[in-house]
Amino acid sequence: MIPRHIAFIMDGNGRWAQAHGMPRYEGYKHGLEALLRVAGRLEQRGVGAISVFALSTENLSRPKDELSAIFDAVIKFNKTYFGTLRINYFGDIDALSDDIADSVDDVERRTSINKGTSLNIALNYGAQTDIVHAAKLAADKGSFLEDEFLSSLSTAGLPPLDMVVRTGGERRLSNFMLYESAYAELMFMDKLWPDMTADDADAALAEFEKRVRKFGK
Ligand code: IPE
Ligand code: IPE
Ligand code: MG
């Protein structure tokens, strides 16, 4: 079976740049190219939704040069993407600069007519904050209803999350889609994100195919 929704923790960009004799911030440009390769193949394979972790709220404490390189890559992508994926962002975009927020609005509007695969980009996102925020909205309605909570998560409306893939060798979720990943298959790859190819996307789908899902039954 092809996953309805697959997520990637795109880790290892800084180490990739260092391994190639470049400053860490150079890794993000190459990370963006890897994202286009991977998402393009998953789209061809018929995956309904792709979610990717581009920047955590905790990452905002990174050095300035790294953050500007990440934001430059995001803005460049938003301004130059004219493909067939439907692009959506989630996370606290309003807390970022107007340049970033405007470019996000732009690409979301431009690609909203695309009917196939969605690419959901987590930027300035943290799952714990997202969960608390959704819980608060639900509680503010007077009675705490699960439906109200679910529809207030920033991932509301996306298909159930079937698989989470983390590159870069670390085996942790680092505050990404904690609620949504309850029954997701987890896959950890040692490859650094900028090295990801279309074949690696196929490998993730092949791994998913092998997993036996039980959902407690
Ligand atoms: C992950 O890559 C992406 C962001 C944090 C934006 P890193 O920058 O964490 O790369 P490594 O893990 O240090 O190599
Ligand atoms: C997770 O990677 C965040 C993104 C991939 C955007 P980190 O590099 O920030 O995670 P830790 O610090 O190793 O847990
Ligand atoms: Mg990292």
Residues 186-200 have pLDDT tens digits of 999 999 999 999 999
Whether 59 is catalytic is yes
Atom of ligand 2 nearest to the CA of 166: 5
Residues 89-121 pLDDT 10s: 999 999 999 999 999 999 999 999 999 999 999
Residue 62 has pLDDT above 90, yes or no: yes
HSE at residue 47, side-chain half, CA atoms within 13 A, is 29
Rounded mean pLDDT, 41-52: 98
* Active-site option among 13, 59, 78, 124: 59
Separation between Cα atoms, residue 77 and residue 60, nearest integer Å = 20
Residue 31 vs residues 14, 38, 53, 204, 212: alpha-carbon distances, Å: 10, 11, 12, 18, 31
* Active-site option among 11, 130, 162, 200: 11
Residue 50 vs residues 75, 77, 120, 155, 216: alpha-carbon distances, Å: 19, 16, 6, 11, 25
Measured in angstroms, how far is the CA atom of residue 188 from the centroid of ligand 3? Answer: 13
Atom of ligand 1 nearest to the CA of 70: 6
Whether 106 is catalytic is no
Write out residues with Cβ below 6 Å of ligand 1.
10-15, 55, 59, 70, 168
Domains in the chain: ranges and CATH: 7-45+53-125 (3.40.1180.10), 126-160+172-182 (no CATH)
Separation between Cα atoms, residue 146 and residue 40, nearest integer Å = 35
HSE at residue 3, side-chain half, CA atoms within 13 A, is 32
Q: What is the pTM of this model?
A: 0.98
What is residue 116's predicted lDDT score, i.e. its pLDDT?
Answer: 97
Write out residues with Cβ below 6 Å of ligand 2.
9-11, 53-56, 59, 170, 172, 174
Residues 145-197 pLDDT 10s: 888 999 999 999 999 999 999 999 999 999 999 999 999 999 999 999 999 99
Residue of 10, 59, 66, 90 best suited for mutating to test ligand 2, as the one with most atoms within 8 Å of CB:
59
3-class secondary structure, 71: helix
Residue of 11, 24, 173 best suited for mutating to test ligand 2, as the one with most atoms within 8 Å of CB:
11
For 205, phi then psi, to 5°, come to: -65, -35
Separation between Cα atoms, residue 31 and residue 17, nearest integer Å = 10
Report how far Cα 54 is from the mean position of its chain's Cα atoms: 6
